[in-house]
Amino acid sequence: PLSARGEGALAEQARRLLSFTEGRVDLRPVDVGLSLAVSRAALPDRAAVVAAGMAELRAGLAALAEGGSAP
Given a cut of 90, whether residue 63 has pLDDT beyond it is yes
- Identity of residue 24: R
pLDDT band at 19 (very low <50, low <70, confident <90, very high): very high
Determine contact, residues 5/43, Cβ cutoff 8 Å: yes
Mean pLDDT (whole number) for 9-29: 93
pLDDT for 14: 95
Mean pLDDT (whole number) for 43-47: 90
pLDDT band at 66 (very low <50, low <70, confident <90, very high): very high
Provide the whole-model pTM. Answer: 0.87
Residues with Cβ within 8 Å of residue 56, at least 6 apart in sequence: 29, 49, 50
- The three-state secondary structure class of 71 is coil
Q: How far apart are CA 50 and CA 69, in angstroms?
A: 11
